[in-house]
Amino acid sequence: MHNIHEFLYANTIVLCVAAVTTVLFQRLRQPVVIGYIFAGLIVGPHVPIPLVADPNIVTTLSELGVILLMFSLGLEFSLKKLMQVGSTSAIIAVLETSVMLWLGFMAGRLFGWTTLESIFAGAIIAISSTTIIAKVFDEQKVTGKIREIVVGVLIVEDLIGIIFMALFTGIASGQGLGAGAMAMTIAKLVLFLGGLIGIGMLLIPRMMRVIRSIDRKETTLVASIGICFAVSLIAREFGYSVALGAFLAGSLIAEAGEEKYIEHLVEPVRDMFAAVFFVSVGMMIDPTIVVRYLPAIIVLTLIVIIGKSFGVAAGSFLTGNSMRVSVQTGRSMTQIGEFSFIIAGLGLTLNATGEFLYPIAVAVSAVTTLTTPLLIRSSGPLVNFIDRKLPKPLQTFGALYGSWIEEMRSRSEQRKTVGPVRHLLRRMLLDAAFLAAIIIGTSVGMDPLVEFLRRFSGASDTVFRSAAIAAALLAAFPFCRGIVRMGEKLGIFFARMALPGIKEKSVDLVAAPRRMFVVTLQLLSVLVVGIPLLALTQPFLPGITSASLLVTMLGALAVIFWRSAADLHGHVRAGAEVVVAALKFPSRESDLEDDNGNARLKQVHHLLPGLGDLVAVTLSGGCSVIGRTLADLNLRGLTGATVLAVIREKEGVVFPGANEPLQENDVLALSGTHEAVASAKELLQAQQ
């Protein structure tokens, strides 16, 4: 036990130094979290400054910070909110965290770390920082669709982080990574969560409504934190982390509908103990360890920045967002933070990792926190660069893909799509489960099988192992093929919904866009199933065995994708000629009264729905864009809409070049999503 003098001294040192560094970092316009970590470095035992606080006292207090941080996070996460997040955020989060988990694991193995240390490294870099992103968004005034997507992805990421912590606790304290041990760990976790959530849903929301009806702040605050500590203690008694219990407590209290009020009451207490938590993180940084593991810090930092940028951006684009929104979303999530510290600390507590991993996590977090604002600010020029350098077929695909997703969503609301989609997804996930079982079973059972066969034959171990691997590959092939086929069937189902053919026409005028849509959705489904499968099975395989299998599948789809994109580009060029003809040569007298030609474009859209939303914009004399080229405007990069044609008095310019200057009275035929076309129209018609 510590006497009151030691306790008071440690608190005085920690809070006073943290106050000074917080003010300093706010003046420098840097995240205060970095200030707290810097304060921990000052009062820690590894820097020769005569302001050393007792690490044991600070660690004890920091545990309260972890509990209150996770409790506040749970208050923001209710079952109702999870339903509102939607499938888009879930797909992006699963895709990105799986990529990061695999990359982190491979990096750890590259540096010679143990299997468990490599798994923890992957989990540490998989979860972005809610605290840091919120502060950067507030400072840079990021609002609208980007903020909505990022918040949704963060909610799902936090849930994945909670699952990581629960699984790691069981694995590290149980029988390791064996298939049986993992199955038992997952079963125990499901039973624990089911029992706690079931009983908690019956008691805690009702209890909080009664307490809230008393209408006394201190009563509500004390009761809320009391429930938080009680559920945390229950989780600890069952062998799980207190952070998991605190998160569940917050989620259960949120079901009472008073989460905003309680969060406001808890916020000052949480902020104080959270500051102590981040100071304790800084106290654990040993500069000599940071220098020794500098290559690992650099590699993991690059993985976080590049991997998260690409993973989130790819997932965002494939779920129907524009290239600009997708790139900005990806660049917004290129950091790790509080969850990474908690997972790293869990590894230390369970003796699953060496002491070096915690300071590595802190160093990577500090660097990526500083680079996040710069990456967000530079996302606009990056989008412009990507748009200019993309091949023409991919530019065409990028401009139209969002409109197909938009059409699919609008039609799916009018039709019953849940049943068929659920059936196909169930078959795909079943194939993935059998494939995972074959991979894990072959890995775990290889040595016992070879030992058993050796008793009955004089062949070498190499022969037996080669035969076992060949048999596993043969057994896995039907399930790999099943995943690809189910992805194709899902693509066909949604493509027919978004781009239906016209029954009275003998020629299918939307065959090329529909084929492109099918291939893209097939690619998306293989990614969403294959990458998590890769992350799950990689610890059981040597080298890049499972990665090579996934790359082979994706490579074959990429070839088909490129061919389909080339066909789509030719289809759109032909469609642009139809647009020019419709705008230049009205077919009926009523069309002559349509000054902008939008009525005629509706007819074209009915015949060629694969061209997206078609709108004609006439440039009047006062438009500010007259005399400027399309390259100067960067219309597609800024809005996501593309110019199919420019109609002038005596000529129609089909697919105008980037250096084509715009003239007065030009009629521009635009294509894209409703939102993209509306933004482009507003930009083009802006007056000088």
Q: Concatenated DSSP letters for 489-502?
A: HHHHHHHHHHSPPP
The token duo for 554 is: 């994706």
Distance CA 670, CA 684 (A): 11
User: What are 166-222's pLDDT values in tens digits?
Assistant: 777 766 665 555 555 566 766 777 788 788 888 888 888 888 888 888 888 888 888
Q: Tell me the whole-structure pTM to 2 decimals.
A: 0.81
Q: Classify 4-389 by CATH class.
A: mainly alpha
The token duo for 628 is: 């400027």
Can you say how many angstroms the Cα of residue 103 is from the centroid of all Cα atoms in its chain?
Answer: 15
**What's the pLDDT score for residue 593?**
45
50/668: higher pLDDT: 668
Contacts 24+ apart (CB under 8 A), 130-134: 130/73, 130/154, 130/158, 130/337, 130/338, 130/339, 131/33, 131/337, 131/338, 132/31, 132/33, 132/335, 132/337, 132/369, 132/372, 133/332, 133/333, 133/335, 133/372
pLDDT bracket for residue 305 (50, 70, 90): very high
140/223: higher pLDDT: 223
Ranges 169-183, 389-403, 572-586: which has the least confidence: 169-183
- Which CATH topology does 581-684 take? Alpha-Beta Plaits (3.30.70)
**What's the pLDDT score for residue 528?**
84
Count of CB atoms within 10 A of residue 148's CB?
15
Give the H/E segment covering residue 668: strand 667-672
End-to-end CA distance of the chain: 75
Domain extent listing, the chain: 4-389, 397-563, 581-684
Distance CA 326, CA 309 (A): 9
Q: What are phi and psi of 667, to 5 degrees?
A: -110, 120
pLDDT bracket for residue 416 (50, 70, 90): low
Distance CA 436, CA 536 (A): 8
Reduced to 3 states (helix: H, G, I; strand: E, B; else coil), residue 661 is strand
Distance CA 668, CA 608 (A): 18
**What's the pLDDT score for residue 304?**
93
Distance CA 625, CA 631 (A): 11
CA-nearest of 207, 364, 389 to 297 is: 364
